[in-house]
Amino acid sequence: MKALRDWSLTVLVILGAAAVWPTIFVLLGLLAGGDANATCRDNRHEAEEWDGSDDLVEARSTLVPLSEVCRWDDGYTLDIVPGWVNPVVGAYVASFSLATAGAITGAVRSRPHRSDA
């Protein structure tokens, strides 16, 4: 069981380190107080030739699943969050959960048993 615990702890350290940089960028984005309208307009302009004449009707964000959907009055809809982000986040959460469970299981099973005799 020591091997399971050691392996799980190694995975936890790697996954924890990998989580640092996205967290920093998210926090910097929140601190900057990003304007959803400006973000939607910039991304639409990059996605297609657009003259900017249509009005933004809605900018909606959700955390689960990660999404930032912009909708204009001409019917055009754009999700700013790339399609690969949610599967990667799901795989990360599953890996982190399994590694945590493995570390806890390994630690509990490697503890010496006390006898009442």
pLDDT in tens, 26-68: 666 555 456 777 778 887 877 677 777 778 888 888 878 888 8
Q: Which residues contact 74 (CB under 8 A, 6 or more apart)?
A: 54
8 Å CB contact between 81 and 101: no
Q: Which domain holds residue 39?
A: 2-22+35-110
User: Does residue 27 lie in a domain region?
Assistant: no
User: Does residue 42 lie in a domain region?
Assistant: yes
Count of domains in the chain?
Answer: 1
> pTM for this structure?
0.63
User: Does residue 115 lie in a domain region?
Assistant: no
Strand 67-72 to 56-62 pairing: antiparallel
User: Does residue 104 lie in a domain region?
Assistant: yes
pLDDT in tens, 89-105: 888 888 888 888 887 88
